[in-house]
Amino acid sequence: MHELSIVADLFTIIEEKARESGASRVTKVRVLIGELSGVVPELFRTAFHSYKKGTIADRARLEIKITRVKFRCLRCGKEIKTRDISSPDFSYACPFCGSKEVELESGRDLYLEKLELET
């Protein structure tokens, strides 16, 4: 359960951006969570709503967009967009050439994408 630590870092950014924009309140927070970021969206949501109390975002809604994992095949060089990495028929092998030499390109990222502010 490291989501709370991550949410604490998120709030540091939210408060800084809100201050820079002269906002009186943050009403919506949208984050991008990579499927392989190690963050569980539901736990992130719980952590967000307990952390927000008493902050500038105390009434903010949270929107989460899950970003899919992308691999690159080291043999044929093609980009591999995955479906659901936790599904039982998911394979790390390249669907184009069958190679098992694939490298992760994205899907570990955690981003604060945008904020909706009241000024």
Q: Using the rule CB under 8 A, which residue among 89, 100, 105, 106 binds other proteins?
A: 100
34: CB partners within 8 A, 6+ apart:
66, 67, 69, 106, 107, 108, 109, 110
Torsion of CA 81, 84, 89, 94, to 10 degrees: 20
Binding mask 47-86 for other proteins (x = CB under 8 A): ---------------------------x----------x-
Cα–Cα distance, 106 to 117 (Å, whole number): 29
Q: Using the rule CB under 8 A, which residue among 45, 49, 68, 108 binds other proteins?
A: 108
Cα–Cα distance, 110 to 70 (Å, whole number): 15
- Please identify, using beta-carbon distances, which residue of 43 and 53 lies nearer to other proteins: 43
Residues that bind other proteins (CB under 8 A): 1-2, 5-6, 9-10, 12-13, 17, 21, 24-25, 27-28, 31, 36-39, 74, 85, 92-93, 100-104, 108-119
